[in-house]
Amino acid sequence: MVFNDVLIHTARTWERIRVTREYQEMPYDNIESCDCIVAVAGEIFESELIQKFVKSNARERRGFWERETEEGFSDDYIENLAHDKICNDYL
């Protein structure tokens, strides 16, 4: 479930970046971009903080993002991380 959330937020971030670029193009075509999005999502999912969340119990998950991140919400945290990875690794 968590990987699916990471994948969705990564894809949304990719698309937001794409539509702001000249000619609304990324360095990879539509088919290749799917592989890139999955790769970025995989890196984010394997990150230390996401793995800490995945391995935590229900009690530990309450307020997790507020305690552990400046963003305070998992979507914001994931999308900020995805934005940085996409801009640094793919543009």
The per-residue pLDDT for range 13-29, each reduced to its tens digit, is 999 999 999 898 898 88
Predicted TM-score of the model (pTM)? 0.91
Question: Structural domain boundaries of the chain?
Answer: 2-90
Burial class (CB in 10 A: 0-12, 13-18, 19+), 68: middle
Q: 89 CB contacts (<8 Å, ≥6 apart)?
A: 40
Element (H, E) at 72: none
The per-residue pLDDT for range 51-79, each reduced to its tens digit, is 999 999 999 999 999 999 999 899 999 99
